[in-house]
């Protein structure tokens, strides 16, 4: 799936060339919903990403301007990954994917089902709320 240069100027293709692989979107999910910020935290996902794949994806997302990497204020062996404004703009895509998953997966988890009910009551309100929260360092399922 490695490609050199752009295959077209279609904006959907543009989006897919930046984050169109499963792991990138699962990293986004972990930041937005659970508030993960470090390599070690991303590595603990239930989907069990391989160390080399995670390192490559984080580097790619940083290079594409989706993630900012900054030194961890309390531990200089670690880096903090946070979403740029361009990365925060991916939140509506993540919510629509979650909505589709909830609608078509009989095993969808209760917190996700409840969250999507809120989403359908007022999509733009929830997108704004969550974007503001994540920008401030928090996440959907946390209060930090």
72 vs 74: CA distance, rounded Å: 6
Q: Is 103 in contact with 85 (CB distance < 8 Å)?
A: no
Span from 36-44, 69-77, 106-114, 129-137 in contact with a second copy (CB under 8 A): 106-114
Listed as own residue / partner, the contacts of 55-61 with beta carbons closer than 8 Å and 24 or more positions apart are 57/21, 57/23, 57/24, 57/27, 58/27, 60/24, 61/19, 61/24, 61/27, 61/87
Q: Least distance (Å) from a second copy to the CB of residue 36?
A: 13
Q: Least distance (Å) from a second copy to the CB of residue 128?
A: 14
Q: What is the SS3 assignment for 82?
A: strand
Of 26, 27, 31, 83, which one interacts with a second copy (CB under 8 A)?
Answer: 26
Q: Least distance (Å) from a second copy to the CB of residue 42?
A: 14
Q: Is 56 in the site for a second copy (CB under 8 A)?
A: no
Q: Is 99 in the site for a second copy (CB under 8 A)?
A: yes
What residues line the site for a second copy (CB under 8 A)? 1, 7-18, 20-22, 25-26, 29, 45-48, 86, 89-90, 92-94, 96-105, 107-109, 112, 116, 123-124
């Amino acid at each position: 799936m490695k490609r050199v240069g752009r295959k077209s100027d279609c904006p959907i293709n543009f989006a897919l060339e930046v984050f169109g692989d499963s792991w990138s979107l699962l990293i986004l999910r972990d930041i937005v919903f659970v508030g993960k910020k470090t390599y070690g935290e991303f590595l603990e996902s239930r989907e069990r990403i391989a160390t080399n794949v995670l390192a490559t994806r984080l580097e790619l997302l940083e290079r594409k301007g989706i993630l900012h990497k900054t030194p961890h204020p309390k531990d200089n062996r670690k880096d903090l990954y946070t979403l740029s404004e361009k990365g925060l703009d991916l939140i509506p895509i993540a919510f629509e994917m979650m909505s589709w998953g909830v609608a078509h997966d009989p095993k969808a988890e209760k917190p996700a089902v409840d969250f999507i009910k809120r989403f359908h009551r007022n999509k733009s309100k929830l997108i704004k709320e969550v974007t503001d929260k994540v920008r401030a360092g928090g996440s959907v399922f946390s209060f930090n």
